């Protein structure tokens, strides 16, 4: 008699294979779920394995389109970035996967969902908070936080022995000394030898991008067009190659960045649960698209709108994404602030990728007129009375002179 159906996020790897077998042993019926979010993966092998272990069903869901269009692109609009450096590649994927998993759980009549995340990381939080928002009555089975599980499987050896006992095939390749997580936007590397934050990652760890020193000697120039802050056209090869479909554009931006070694970072970040953690990331296309977007905002976005968006939306949205708070009232609220900030972000940025970096060559907009060459020109006085600036400075200085006088009266010298 089954204790009920559980929808397990199944990757085909050792951990989730053991979890699958363990759930069956515990008396659950298991639906294995796997999201195709652009990672390099043998989906067929995973299916075969899941069914062999005893899953009732294996469901793979292709979420690449909604990942790019509904999550990655708005992140570009918002210039999302965490702790000055991290482009949130993993964080962006989590709500997409969670939504697909809950949908499968509901379609398959599962009362519970399960995952193989560890008890110290961000991903457990990101998945579960999304689960609870999308299906408040769902039960979450998190084996790595269940003493019955984690006490039994204290090390890799225990997992391997259990797998052997259950006839679960294990890849013969030696485990890499770090963990990875991959999707269309990025790959992450953490744990293992990377836990010493002073260990430089070995050259062969990096997977998506070529090493900058191995990248082509010739810079590669390209253009990106945006409409309302969304990338709508990527132009390569001096105009010979033009991509407009969002997913294709994103993949093409990835290729461009990958072959030029663009998008690597290495940081110590602060996990939601308050632990510091070292991560290495490759975020090729997103790095290029975000750089171009930031640049175009200089040309087309009003100063004050930009400042408000920077200080409130970018910072808040990035933190919410990182902490797994996508499906929350505050994140809905913050997302509502993105489109009104992007109305005028229309135009094209010309840029260059070269040996690990991307730089801007120029930008233009056919519709937006906030930048005005005549007005901007230092050599032109058309429509401008320099005396006005005298008044502007005089008024700005009212408060500042008072400050200077107060300091003087108090015998205090203002100094650098």
Question: In terms of CB distance, is 49 or 363 closer to its own copies?
Answer: 363
For the question of residue 94 being annotated catalytic, the response is yes
CA distances from 54 to 27, 117, 154 (A): 12, 21, 24
For the question of residue 196 being annotated catalytic, the response is no
Of the candidate spans 34-42, 168-176, 242-250, 297-305, the one that interacts with its own copies by CB under 8 A turns out to be: 297-305
Of the candidate spans 30-38, 44-52, 243-251, 333-341, the one that interacts with its own copies by CB under 8 A turns out to be: 333-341
128 is an interface residue for its own copies by CB under 8 A: yes
Which are the contacts of 26, defined by CB distance < 8 A and separation ≥ 6? Answer: 3
Question: In terms of CB distance, is 48 or 335 closer to its own copies?
Answer: 335
The contact pattern for its own copies, residues 199-228, with x = CB under 8 A and - = no contact, is xx-----------xx---x-x---------
> Pick the catalytic residue: 152, 179, 271, 352?
179
Which are the contacts of 227, defined by CB distance < 8 A and separation ≥ 6? Answer: 346
Of the candidate spans 27-35, 166-174, 241-249, 355-363, the one that interacts with its own copies by CB under 8 A turns out to be: 355-363
> Pick the catalytic residue: 17, 64, 94, 290?
94
Q: Pick one of 3, 207, 241, 408: the residue that binds its own copies (CB under 8 A).
A: 408
Applying the rule CB under 8 A, the residues between 244 and 273 that interact with its own copies are 264-270, 273
Give min distance, CB of 300 to its own copies, in A: 9
Write out the H or E segment, with its range, that includes residue 295.
helix 284-300
# residues near its own copies by CB under 8 A: 140
278 is an interface residue for its own copies by CB under 8 A: yes
Strand stretches in 70-146, DSSP E = 112-114, 139-141
Q: What is the DSSP string of 209-270?
A: S--GGGS-SS-EEEEEEEETTEEEEEEEGGGTEEE-SHHHHHHHHHHHHHHTT--EEEEEEE
Give min distance, CB of 52 to its own copies, in A: 27
For the question of residue 204 being annotated catalytic, the response is no
Place of tokens 């009266």: 409
395 is an interface residue for its own copies by CB under 8 A: yes
Q: Pick one of 99, 183, 188, 254: the residue that binds its own copies (CB under 8 A).
A: 99
The answer to whether the beta carbons of residues 347 and 375 sit under 8 Å apart is no
Give min distance, CB of 366 to its own copies, in A: 11
Which are the contacts of 90, defined by CB distance < 8 A and separation ≥ 6? Answer: 122, 123, 181, 183, 186, 188
Distance between CA 106 and CA 111 in Å, rounded? Answer: 8
> How many other CB atoms are there within 10 angstroms of residue 137's CB atom?
6
Of the candidate spans 46-54, 163-171, 226-234, 314-322, the one that interacts with its own copies by CB under 8 A turns out to be: 314-322
For the question of residue 123 being annotated catalytic, the response is yes
176 is an interface residue for its own copies by CB under 8 A: no
Q: Pick one of 165, 173, 382, 385: the residue that binds its own copies (CB under 8 A).
A: 385
359 is an interface residue for its own copies by CB under 8 A: yes
CA distances from 286 to 25, 77, 112, 186, 353 (A): 42, 11, 34, 8, 13
299 is an interface residue for its own copies by CB under 8 A: yes
Q: Pick one of 31, 125, 163, 243: the residue that binds its own copies (CB under 8 A).
A: 125
Phi-psi category of residue 84: left, alpha or beta, with phi > 0 → left and psi -120 to 50 → alpha: left
CA distances from 218 to 57, 119, 282 (A): 50, 46, 22
Q: Pick one of 295, 321, 345, 346: the residue that binds its own copies (CB under 8 A).
A: 295
Give min distance, CB of 4 to its own copies, in A: 20
2 is an interface residue for its own copies by CB under 8 A: no
Distance between CA 184 and CA 190 in Å, rounded? Answer: 18
Distance between CA 99 and CA 105 in Å, rounded? Answer: 10
> Pick the catalytic residue: 11, 17, 91, 123?
123
Q: Pick one of 277, 283, 287, 346: the residue that binds its own copies (CB under 8 A).
A: 277
Of the candidate spans 10-18, 22-30, 281-289, 385-393, the one that interacts with its own copies by CB under 8 A turns out to be: 385-393
**Dihedral angle, C-alpha 9, 14, 15, 17, nearest 10 °:** 50
Catalytically annotated residues: 15, 94, 123, 179
């Amino acid at each position: 008699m089954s204790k009920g159906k559980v929808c397990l996020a199944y990757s085909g790897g050792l951990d989730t294979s053991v979890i699958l077998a363990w759930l069956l042993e515990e008396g659950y019926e298991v639906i294995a779920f796997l999201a195709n979010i652009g990672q390099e993966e043998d989906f067929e092998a995973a299916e075969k394995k899941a069914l062999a272990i005893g899953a009732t069903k294996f469901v793979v869901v292709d979420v690449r389109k909604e990942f790019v269009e509904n999550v990655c692109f708005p992140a570009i609009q918002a210039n999302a970035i965490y702790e000055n450096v991290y482009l949130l590649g993993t964080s962006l994927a989590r709500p997409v996967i969670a939504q697909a998993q809950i949908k499968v759980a509901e379609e398959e009549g599962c009362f519970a969902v399960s995952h193989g995340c560890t008890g110290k990381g961000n991903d457990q939080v990101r998945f579960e908070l999304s689960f609870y928002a999308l299906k408040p009555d769902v039960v979450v089975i998190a084996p790595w936080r269940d003493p019955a599980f984690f006490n039994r499987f204290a090390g890799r050896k225990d997992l391997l022995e259990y797998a052997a006992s259950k006839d679960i095939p294990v890849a013969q390749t030696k485990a890499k000394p770090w963990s990875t997580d991959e999707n269309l936007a990025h790959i992450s590397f953490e744990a293992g030898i990377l836990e010493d934050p002073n260990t430089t990652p070995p050259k062969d760890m990096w997977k998506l991008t070529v090493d900058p020193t191995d990248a082509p000697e010739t810079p590669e120039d390209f253009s990106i067009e945006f409409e309302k802050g969304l990338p709508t056209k990527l132009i390569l090869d001096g105009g010979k190659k033009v991509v407009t479909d969002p997913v294709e554009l994103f993949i093409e931006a990835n290729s461009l960045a990958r072959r030029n070694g663009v998008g690597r970072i290495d940081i110590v970040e602060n996990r939601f649960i308050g632990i510091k953690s070292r991560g290495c990331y490759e975020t090729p296309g997103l790095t290029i698209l975000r750089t171009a977007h930031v640049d175009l905002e200089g040309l087309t976005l009003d100063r004050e709108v930009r400042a408000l968006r920077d200080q409130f939306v970018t910072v808040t949205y990035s933190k919410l994404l990182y902490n797994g708070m996508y499906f929350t009232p505050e994140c809905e609220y913050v997302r509502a602030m993105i489109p009104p900030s992007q109305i005028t972000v229309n135009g094209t940025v010309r840029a260059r990728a070269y040996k690990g970096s991307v730089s801007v060559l120029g930008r233009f907009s056919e519709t937006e007129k906030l930048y005005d060459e005549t007005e901007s020109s230092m050599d032109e006085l058309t429509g401008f009375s320099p005396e006005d600036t005298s008044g502007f400075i005089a008024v700005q200085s009212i408060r500042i002179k008072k400050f200077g006088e107060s300091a003087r009266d108090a015998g205090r010298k203002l100094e650098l």
